[in-house]
Amino acid sequence: MNYRMVLYILGKVIGVEGFFLLAPAVCGIIYGQSFLPYFLWAASLCAISLLLCFKKPQQTEIHSRDGFISVALCWIVLSLLGAVPFLLTGEMNSFFDAFFEIVSGFTTTGASVVANVEGLSHASLLWRSLSQWLGGMGVLVFVLAVMPKADMKNARYMHLMRAEVPGPTVDKLVPKIAHTARVMYGIYLGLTVVEVVFLLFGGMDVFEALTHSFSTASTGGFGIKNTSIGGYSPYIQYVIATFMLLFGINLNIFYLLLTGHIFKALKSEEFWWYIGIAATAVVVIMLSIFGQYNGTEGAFRAAYFQVASIMTTSGFSTADFTKWPVLAQAMLVLLMFIGGSTGCTAGGIKVGRVLLLGKNAKREAGYLLHPNLVRSVKVDGRSVAAETIRGTTSFIIVYIIIFVISTLLLIAVESCDLVTGFTTVTTAINNVGPGLAAVGPASNFAHFTDFSKLLLCAVMLIGRLEIFPILILFSPSSWRR
């Protein structure tokens, strides 16, 4: 293990967090609210970062293990430090509440323990949304994007990217990793800006447009109103729903479109399955909730918005879907598990993995029918490597094990009903936000015990980093020489 290098990377990450904390501080000044806690904390994080990055390690080489451990460690430290401002401003009294809130932010979950969101200061609201924006694309990817050229030599930063960016395989878009990171953030930022413009056009003020765009881009789902998006005009609901769906598409597709490879972009199987699943879900839910709404438009809008929000694991809401028919609710829970595409900010198992597993299952059935069958699993017309399939299968198995254990633990501690227990963990591990029953869109997570909050924080982090980094961090064998 290259401890010096892990600390160095950690220092950079803390620096980035300090830099981003300046935004709420400035926001506080603009709105004439207290900005000192944010400003002081930002300054101290920058100081810590300078201290850790003061001397560049001689040995910059990192390996797979260092990559996973740095990423897991960075995310935990990031959350611990990010929770402090909420306590400093006095808006939250319990450390567990603040930690839960910020983990929910960074992991783009969007589950909140705050009952009255409108009571929070503008600075804190901005910090919640900004934490989602940063966590969506990944803070280490950001570090890689802004890393000076001289630092990129000789180090194997691909391990960092691989551990942080979701998906069964992570590929570069262009030869240089820093350049790839910059392209990714470029597309991300570009789309965010477009959304801000659309929202401003719909009559939101700058603050609302920014915070909602940050939360949409990251498919996070922190709103700044108690009714989430429900109080806004149909135009804004459509804009936010459409952008959520856009941010649930693999970034590679945007890159291909931007570089003029339109046909190649449209050849992606995952993309069409993603669109297909979303469309089917909209139709099914619309039909099932038709009776509760007046007119087709209302039912379509509610179904479209909720499918976009749940499938991309954002978690915004325009309606309390706990009151919907059970079929619609079950459909939403299914969407929570499927999640968005690979290589985007959405959580969940990912359409790509589901697709791969489905095709693999079909092949296995084929083997039973024809014992001497030779068939490879093909996605986008190419056969998928056996290792990728193996990796995906083991991912699913570990995912289920963690899911089951967490659900049992939660139900044991909370002695809540099965639906609440099941959907709470579902919503946490898939980074969605709202669940059903006691954790529906109209409720919040404040009623859980501190132990459950910590458990859910762990589950959210595990879900965001796709399980293995956190497990590796806490397995003793990783720390042996």
Partner 1 sequence: MNIIIVGGGKVGRSLIELLSVEGHNVTVIETDKKLVETLVNDYDVIGFCGNGGSFTVMEEAGVKESDIFISVTGSDELNIMSCLVAGKLGAKRTVARVRNPEYSLQVPFMRSKLGLSLVINPELEAANEIARFIEFPAAMNIETFAKGRIELAEITVEKDSVLCGMKLMELRKKLNVQMLVCAVQREEEVIIPSGGFVIKEGDRVHFSASHKSLPKIFKTLGLTKKKIKSVLIVGGSRTAFYLAKRLSFAGIDIKLIEQNAEKAARLDEELDNVTVICGDGTDHELLSAERIFDFDACVALTQIDEENLILSMYAASKGVEKTVCKINRAALVKMLSGQINNTNIVAPRQITTRTILRYVRAVSNVDGNEMRTLYQILDGKAEAMEFIATENCKLNGKALKNLSLKPNIIIACISRGNTVLIPEGNTEVAKGDSVIVITAGQRISDLNEILL
Residues binding partner 1 (CB under 8 A): 64, 149, 152-154, 156-159, 171-172, 174-179, 385
Instruction: Determine if residue 105 is left, alpha or beta; phi over 0 gives left, psi from -120 to 50 gives alpha, anything else beta.
Output: alpha
Report CA-CA distances (Å) from 190 to 173, 257, 387. 17, 14, 35
The nearest distance, CB 372 to partner 1, in angstroms, is 25
The nearest distance, CB 388 to partner 1, in angstroms, is 11
The nearest distance, CB 146 to partner 1, in angstroms, is 16
Q: Which is nearer to partner 1, 174 or 401 (CB)?
A: 174
The nearest distance, CB 154 to partner 1, in angstroms, is 6
Q: Which is nearer to partner 1, 118 or 171 (CB)?
A: 171
Both structure tokens of 318: 């325009």
Both structure tokens of 178: 């820093």
Q: Which is nearer to partner 1, 173 or 299 (CB)?
A: 173
Q: Which is nearer to partner 1, 433 or 469 (CB)?
A: 469
Q: Which is nearer to partner 1, 362 or 378 (CB)?
A: 378
Q: Which is nearer to partner 1, 265 or 336 (CB)?
A: 265
Instruction: Determine if residue 172 is left, alpha or beta; phi over 0 gives left, psi from -120 to 50 gives alpha, anything else beta.
Output: beta
Among residues 298, 300, 285, the alpha carbon closest in space to that of 333 is found at 285
What is d(CA 365, CA 356) in angstroms, rounded to the nearest whole number? 14
> Residues 251, 161: contact at Cβ < 8 Å?
no
What is d(CA 155, CA 140) in angstroms, rounded to the nearest whole number? 14
Q: Which is nearer to partner 1, 157 or 304 (CB)?
A: 157
Total Cβ atoms within 10 A of residue 443:
18
What is d(CA 80, CA 95) in angstroms, rounded to the nearest whole number? 9
The nearest distance, CB 158 to partner 1, in angstroms, is 6
Q: Tell me the one-letter amino acid at 472.
A: I
Q: Which is nearer to partner 1, 4 or 179 (CB)?
A: 179
Q: Which is nearer to partner 1, 159 or 301 (CB)?
A: 159
The nearest distance, CB 387 to partner 1, in angstroms, is 9
The nearest distance, CB 472 to partner 1, in angstroms, is 16
Among residues 355, 307, 309, 308, the alpha carbon closest in space to that of 331 is found at 307
Report CA-CA distances (Å) from 155 to 16, 32, 60, 141, 146. 20, 45, 6, 15, 15
The nearest distance, CB 148 to partner 1, in angstroms, is 12
> Residues 165, 142: contact at Cβ < 8 Å?
no
The nearest distance, CB 280 to partner 1, in angstroms, is 33
What is d(CA 470, CA 233) in angstroms, rounded to the nearest whole number? 41
DSSP code of residue 384: P
Total Cβ atoms within 10 A of residue 200:
15
Beta-sheet strands, E only, within 194-320 = none
Q: Which is nearer to partner 1, 175 or 295 (CB)?
A: 175
The nearest distance, CB 256 to partner 1, in angstroms, is 12
> Residues 458, 96: contact at Cβ < 8 Å?
no
